Structure 1
């Protein structure tokens, strides 16, 4: 099966915001990703779940962001990018967004019976665990 390569930046709709460099994404997060990046990503990640975005940023907080700066805080942007990277890697491994979503929503024994999506959303080390699991799947490790 051919692998798809979809970057986190493409999933967030922030390609080309500034000159490409190793620091571009970090700088974009620090400067405050636009709320539109959250909206775009959640439409791709969870097209049938209009409330999914509130797992990343609480509803009242998101409404305030839209009315004030239109930007996410560094912590919110960091969480969003972490999840976009996980989803991007899952698409690369599974070959399609649908199969990647299926993997991320299905409980996994190596994650204490929790779905990878829940583990990745909770903490940065949780995100690392999910990326490690995907790497094992990609490169023939035991899972």
Structure 2
């Protein structure tokens, strides 16, 4: 299975400077990503203002998010990275931000009629979505 580069994942989160390796990205996630990283990922994924708000506060409760000053904790940072990774993979496969956004928000029969975005809220679910995406990319029957 192919993976998208750590720089592409970080670009979805608007991180600067872009990491050169997964080890570097992992260090930044473990150290806590800026709140803006989650906001940037949500901006890419959600289609409307209401969807953005719901997704953001689904990942981190509103009160908790508002209490955070600058950095997310490591668990919240992992969630932000997961969302960015799934979006970066989807955008790579569809070669279009709009098509990626639509794919993530549309129920899929191979995901039991759930949206890829809903399924990817857990790490194992994100892996399922990524596996589906690579099968689509390479034309492998599901």
Structure 2 CA distance for partners of 1:93 and 1:21, relative to 1, 3 Å:
closer
Unaligned runs of 5+ in 1: none
> 2:109 and 2:78 mapped to 1: Cα distance?
27
Q: Is the 8 A contact 2:44 2:87 kept in 1?
A: no
Tell me which moved more, 104-113 or 125-134. 104-113
Aligned length: 134
> Structure 1 length as normaliser, TM-score?
0.86
For 1:136, the equivalent position in structure 2 comes to 135
For 1:105, the equivalent position in structure 2 comes to 105
> Structure 2 length as normaliser, TM-score?
0.87
Unaligned runs of 5+ in 2: none
Q: Alpha carbon RMSD of aligned pairs, Å?
A: 1.8
Q: Map 1:1-143; keep pairs closer than 5 Å.
A: 7-16=8-17, 20-48=20-48, 49-51=51-53, 52-66=55-69, 70-121=70-121, 123-143=122-142
Moved over 2 A (4+): 19-22
